[in-house]
Structures are given as structure tokens and as C-alpha cells.
Amino acid sequence: MFNDSNIRLYRVIFVCMLALGNVACDAAGKQKTLGINVRGSVSVQPTEFSGHYIYVDIDGTEVRRQLNGSGNLNEVVQGTHVRLATLRRTSPQGVIGLVITSNGNIIYDSGMLQTNDLIVYEAP
């Protein structure tokens, strides 16, 4: 049967379960789908590029990934935000652009550029 000490124990267990659930919900609420999209010319000679980006995982760890290739490149990761991204056209011709999204919303768009200058995104 239920006595006062059992009821208190159940209340403590219930409050602990609520607290643990809130921690898990907070972590899930901070996690976002982050997209890093390199847009380059896809012609007879696709635009070649190099760079990197750093995003923050939900546990606060910074993760660095390379951006090397030609034409277009799309990467999707799970984390809280993109902290930094750099991109440079390494081929002599073509256009290049960088788009960063968070949960499908564009947070940065460099536009399409015809340059070998470094494109840099830094989180505010």
C-alpha cells in the first residue's frame, strides 16, 4: 500500500524524471540542421575550390571540416551553429559562392563571385 514515505519517494522520482527530461529537451532544442553549400561553375571546366568550416556540436565541441573539390558541394551536419567558414576559388576561371543555412533558413549568402579572394563567414 501507499504510505507517506512511499508517496514522498515517488514525488522525488517524478521530479528527477522531469528534470532529466528537461535537460534532454534543452539539448535537442539547441541542435539544428546546418547546411554548407558551395556553388561553383559546372561547365566543361568546373570551378575548383578549397577551404574549411568549423561548426559547434551540441555538446559544445568545435568540429573542423575541409571544403575541397570542384563544381558544387553540399554538406549537412547536426550542431548548434557554424562558427567560421572560409572558401577560395583555386581555378583561374569560374564563379564561386558560399551559402550557409540553419534549419533551412539562409544565415549567409556570399552571392556568386568571380574572384580568387578568400570568402569568409564568421558567426556574429
Question: pLDDT-based confidence at 11, cuts 50/70/90?
Answer: low
Residues 6 and 60 both lie in one domain? no
What residue ranges in the chain does DSSP mark as E strands?
Answer: 32-40, 48-56, 62-70, 73-79, 81-89, 96-102, 105-109, 119-122
Domain that holds residue 83: 32-122
Q: Is 123 helix (H, G, I), strand (E, B) or coil?
A: coil
Same structural domain, 68 and 9: no
Looking at the fold, whether 24 and 39 belong to one and the same domain comes out as no
Residue 102 has pLDDT above 80, yes or no: yes
**Number of structural domains in the chain:** 2
Please answer whether residues 121 and 54 qualify as being in contact, where contact means their C-beta atoms are separated by less than 8 angstroms: no
Least confident range from 6-20, 41-55, 63-77, 107-121: namely 6-20
Looking at per-residue confidence, does 38 or 24 come out higher? 38
Question: Are 5 and 57 contained in the same domain?
Answer: no
Instruction: Please tell me the predicted confidence (pLDDT) of residue 26.
Output: 52
Residue 55 CA to residue 107 CA, distance in Å, equals: 14
Predicted local confidence at residue 23, as pLDDT: 45
CATH of the domain at 79: 2.60.40
> Do 55 and 80 belong together in one domain?
yes
97 and 85 both lie in a single domain: yes
Question: Average pLDDT of 98-102?
Answer: 98
Q: Is there a single domain that holds both residue 26 and residue 36? A: no
Residues 83 and 115 in one domain: yes
- Residue 122: closest CA among 79, 67, 84: 84
Tell whether 52 and 21 lie within a shared domain. Answer: no
Is the same domain home to 100 and 70?
Answer: yes
Residues 62, 85 within the same domain: yes
Q: What is the pLDDT of residue 4?
A: 55
Same domain, 76 and 44: yes
Q: Average pLDDT of 84-110?
A: 97
